[in-house]
Amino acid sequence: MTVVLAHSPAPSADTAFRSALEQARMRGTDLVVLNVSSNDALADPKHAADTTLEGYLTEAAAVGVTARVERVLASDAADAVLEAARQHAAALLVVGIRHRSPVGKLLMGSTAQRILLAADCDVLAVKVKR
């Protein structure tokens, strides 16, 4: 059993990580930090910096949670996250979400929404705390 965090560099990322870490610690499970980036562009805003991920790992080690980073290259982030959750038999999937206007959602779709609706396991949606 694991807790899987779908991570991408966004304002909600750090909050989502804290919640995922808290869940993993409470449940006594491993934590998988999953970063899905596109394999198409040369520079990808969804690609997480190594320094951030290393920071997460040390933070997890400090509270005694075994954490590891997984990078996935895929053009469709939602599918990749769901697939990874299945593979790890995740007990909980953690995603950071943000508000998006209805028009924005119509045009761009919402990865978080697709994950929420299609995941087999529990999903924890984390918002930026103001």
- Of 19 and 37, CB closest to another protein: 37
Name the one residue in this structure whose structure tokens are 């994950």.
115
User: Considering the complex, what minimum distance in angstroms separates the CB of residue 34 from another protein?
Assistant: 13
Site string for another protein, 63-82 (x = CB under 8 A): --------x-x---------
* Structural tokens at position 3: 């807790």
* Structural tokens at position 20: 């995922």
Size of the site for another protein (CB under 8 A): 16
Answer for which of 11, 45, 104, 109 binds another protein (CB under 8 A) is: 45
The yes or no reply on residue 41 touching another protein (CB under 8 A) is: yes
The CA-based dihedral angle spanning residues 77, 15, 59, 44, taken in that order and rounded to the nearest 10 degrees: 30
Name the one residue in this structure whose structure tokens are 């999937």.
93
